[in-house]
Chains A and B, each alone.
Chain A
Amino acid sequence: EDQVTQSPEALRLQEGESSSLNCSYTVSGLRGLFWYRQDPGKGPEFLFTLYSAGEEKEKERLKATLTKKESFLHITAPKPEDSATYLCAVISGNTPLVFGKGTRLSVIA
């Protein structure tokens, strides 16, 4: 059974303090890994898709990387508006999208 584990569960950063969120996965034949951002009570907002180990994607202060067993979401010089829950999800074989439980990020001014 596909499994996605995100760590830490919660992260509190000072504004400008860079850090990384981890998503480790156990799947048979990864076909894609997705990062989403979710604000409280709102729908997940798509950030990145990664397909193969070594791939990297960037958007503003966020950079996502992928290895054969995990993905990292690096946040550089975060701002308070980056506060949200960040969700990782994977798809493999013919299974539907499997989500991790997320990392709740708080950025304090």
Chain B
Amino acid sequence: DSGVTQTPKHLITATGQRVTLRCSPRSGDLSVYWYQQSLDQGLQFLIQYYNGEERAKGNILERFSAQQFPDLHSELNLSSLELGDSALYFCASSPHRLLLAGGSTDTQYFGPGTRLTVL
């Protein structure tokens, strides 16, 4: 058990709908990361938050948005869902933001994931 929790475990919805995925980081971790994993693409970085602020953005669609709350939990909102959005969505956390110059990089610990199925 990594200490990162995600809800729900499974989500089945229809095209055009909007869903919210929730993540609680490990106790004390300030950074939260969201990833999408599909069969053909592997793990793709979506977005990172550090202590409530957006720190890095990856291949995140404009239909997707995220935020990190004062209690450090994070939510990933997916809207206008398409069939191709079906995937596993993982949240990861680490103690500090990955430093841009010098210092060490912190290991990211992953949650169990949310399996999203869009019908």
Contacts and interface: CB of A to CB of B under 8 A. Distances in A.
Given A46-B107, A49-B107, 4 more contacts: A32-B105, A43-B4, A44-B90, A102-B42
Which size class do A's interface residues fall under? 20 to 34
Contacts of A105: none
B108 interface: yes
Tier of interface size on chain B: 20 to 34
B112 A98 contact: no
A43 B111 contact: yes
A98 B33 CA distance: 13
Contacts, number: 56
Interface in A56-105: 87, 89, 91, 93-94, 96-102
Interface in A1-52: 31-32, 34, 36, 41-46, 49, 51
B113 A41 contact: yes
Interface string B36-54: 0000001111001000000
B2 A43 contact: yes
A44 B113 CA distance: 9
B108 to A, nearest CB: 6
Interface of A: 31-32, 34, 36, 41-46, 49, 51, 87, 89, 91, 93-94, 96-102
Interface of B: 2, 4, 33, 42-45, 48, 56, 58, 88, 90, 98, 100, 104-105, 107-113, 115
B113 A43 contact: yes
The 4 closest A-B pairs by CB, nearest first: A43-B110, A32-B105, A99-B43, A101-B42
Contacts of A44: 43, 90, 110
B94 to A, nearest CB: 10
A34 B107 contact: yes
Given A43-B90, A43-B113, A91-B98, A100 B42 contact: yes
Nearest to B105: A32
